[in-house]
Amino acid sequence: MELRRKGVGYLRRSSNRQLQNHSLDIQRSQILRCADRNAFEITDWFIDDAVSAYRKPALKRDAMRALLSTVLDQDEVCGVFFYDESRISRQMSDFVLEVFNPIKERKPQCEFFNATTGTLWDPKEPVVQAQLLMAQNDSAMKSTRALDAQTMLLCDPRGPRRPGAPAPYGYRWADGALVPSETASLALFIFHIASWGYSDAQIASMLTQAGVPSPKSGDWGASTIDVMLNNPVYCGDIAWNRRKGYSNSSRKSVGQYDLFQGQVDAIVPRPLWDIVHELRTVKKETGMKFNTPNLLQGLACCKKCGDGLQVKDSTPARSPKRYVHYVCPSCGQKVETTKLDEVVLDQIGREWPGHFNAFKNEARNTLLRWKKELVDVQRQAKAELEEARYQRATLSPSAPHAEQWQKIISLRETVATEKLQSAISLLEKVAVLEQPVTFDAWIQRLLEPDWVSLLGSTERRTFGFFIIQRVEVEFTAVTKVSICFRLSPFVTLQESIGRLTEFSADTVGEKPKEPQGA
């Protein structure tokens, strides 16, 4: 006979008396089906009233409290089944904090199931988080909407008034100003998962799957997410002059339009916005993908040849097993992606916790070093600019080749001005990252002691990108790897500064001779 694990079911009575029994039957049969598919038998049922599930925190509810103590006290119970998120709590955090976490802490092997979807339920899953946020918002929305409608009707003597533009998702209009609305937490959530590498399309389908209503009703689209993630209003700034022109309605990219800062209550902290845009810049400039199961795509190289390993998928059609390899383009040696990923994950798991503090110090020292280098570049560019201006002032129009000299001097002025502007804007970025709040926001998220088991493949890949500079692979009998960790997670800044300082070093020596013949 098949051995079945023991689990408990949680039900909620409907507030509609006529539907009451019917609803309980549906919930119960759904849970039994889900339990059966996962080889569980339900040994206990817990039933709460409809009203209390909305109003009372999880542990103020009798059945929920009884469920908690049953699961904690009875060793053999290792499964909790419920009908859907709205049955367990209308408050996002209390069920997780007061029921889920304590159970997982004492009994890590205990599993939670959502009987509606028939899947394992884990609040660390982005889809589940979106569902929880929505369950929390649902009840808040009902009361806010009623209040809004009344305010509109009662307070405006000219009758209900509609603001011209629709408010960005997460905001609403109040007396002509934008204020965070009941969906603000979902807007923040969208930035949060974007900062862990999820693509616009992934986020859109996740929200649709979680049943979150989109701003325009219907399914979420990737373009809606793109527009949101590029809208500086979420940091409290109003963008001005964003369209490229009257006839061109496409938008200018971040940094190219004017901002009125601090006009609106921010929903997204600035460091989170910066991390999201760091990843978007990397994707755009390098074509690197984060929503891939291949942890080391673009990060691994052949130790012998020094070439970057390429991903080759040679799975035959209709083959149930996948054959995907990291291949060295020079020597042709290869290793299965899943195998190498596993070796590297294992090694990071062992090396990273011990390396983290060094990484943090190194990141801080790197910022100091960059500051010094940039101040040097700034000084040098200023001197070059002054020199060029002096040459222009002293160049006689009657000097031989005066016209060519004019052109050379103008070019030098342009180059020095560009260099000076880049140095100043990069110095501003370094200054922002040096602030402890910003620095910690970038660094602390990379201290995840149990990251291998906690993160999904996209998140893991994003995490790997921020900490790994390169993985050298040695194709011996047993594949050996050495991981070279990054000096700091500020990847695109490092590249911009590298380009600028290299470029300045190139142009230093070459000075045109003083024009003669005044």
Residue 47 or 305: the one with the smaller Cβ distance to Zn ion is 305
Counting contacts by CB under 5 A, is residue 301 touching Zn ion? no
Task: State phi, psi for 252 to the nearest 5 degrees.
Answer: -70, 155
222-229 and 200-209 helices cross at what angle (nearest 10)?
120
- Where does this chain touch Zn ion (CB under 5 A) — which range of 177-185, 325-333, 334-342, 494-502? 325-333
Of positions 302, 343, 374, 471, contacts Zn ion by CB under 5 A: 302
Map the footprint of Zn ion across residues 418-457, applying CB under 5 A.
Answer: none
Question: CB of residue 332 vs Zn ion: minimum separation in angstroms?
Answer: 7
DSSP classification of residue 516: P
Contact characters 332-371, Zn ion, x per CB under 5 A: ----------------------------------------
Counting contacts by CB under 5 A, is residue 328 touching Zn ion? yes
Question: CB of residue 504 vs Zn ion: minimum separation in angstroms?
Answer: 35
Of positions 305, 345, 432, 446, contacts Zn ion by CB under 5 A: 305
For 313-373, give the DSSP string: E-PPTT-SS--EEEE-TTT--EEEHHHHHHHHHHHHHHHHHHHHHHHHHHHHHHHHHHHHH
Q: Give the helix ranges, DSSP H, for 156-212.
A: 184-194, 200-209
Residue 371 and residue 359: Cα distance in Å, rounded? 18
Question: CB of residue 325 vs Zn ion: minimum separation in angstroms?
Answer: 13
Residue 185 or 333: the one with the smaller Cβ distance to Zn ion is 333
- Where does this chain touch Zn ion (CB under 5 A) — which range of 23-31, 329-337, 408-416, 452-460? 329-337
Residue 112 and residue 94: Cα distance in Å, rounded? 16
Q: How far is C-alpha 137 from the chain's CA centre? A: 22
Residue 166 or 329: the one with the smaller Cβ distance to Zn ion is 329
Map the footprint of Zn ion across residues 102-131, applying CB under 5 A.
Answer: none
- Where does this chain touch Zn ion (CB under 5 A) — which range of 55-63, 286-294, 298-306, 347-355? 298-306
Residue 68 or 328: the one with the smaller Cβ distance to Zn ion is 328
Q: Kindly report the three-state secondary structure assignment for every residue of 250-268.
A: CECCCCCCEEECCCCCCCC
- Where does this chain touch Zn ion (CB under 5 A) — which range of 186-194, 271-279, 296-304, 340-348? 296-304
Of positions 39, 51, 174, 331, contacts Zn ion by CB under 5 A: 331
Q: Name the token pair of 12.
A: 């909620």
Contact indicator for 92, 133 with CB cutoff of 8 Å:
yes
Question: CB of residue 479 vs Zn ion: minimum separation in angstroms?
Answer: 13
DSSP classification of residue 243: B
Question: CB of residue 485 vs Zn ion: minimum separation in angstroms?
Answer: 22
Counting contacts by CB under 5 A, is residue 21 touching Zn ion? no
Contact indicator for 166, 155 with CB cutoff of 8 Å:
no
Question: CB of residue 471 vs Zn ion: minimum separation in angstroms?
Answer: 14
* # chain residues binding Zn ion, by CB under 5 A: 6
Of positions 314, 315, 330, 357, contacts Zn ion by CB under 5 A: 330
In sequence order, what are the beta bridge partners of 178? 173
In sequence order, what are the beta bridge partners of 172? 179
200-209 and 184-194 helices cross at what angle (nearest 10)?
140
Distances (CA, A) of 348 to 294, 308, 456, 465, 484: 15, 20, 16, 12, 10
Question: CB of residue 299 vs Zn ion: minimum separation in angstroms?
Answer: 16
Residue 471 and residue 148: Cα distance in Å, rounded? 56
Residue 288 or 305: the one with the smaller Cβ distance to Zn ion is 305
Residue 107 or 304: the one with the smaller Cβ distance to Zn ion is 304
Residues that bind Zn ion in the complex, under the rule CB under 5 A: 302, 304-305, 328, 330-331
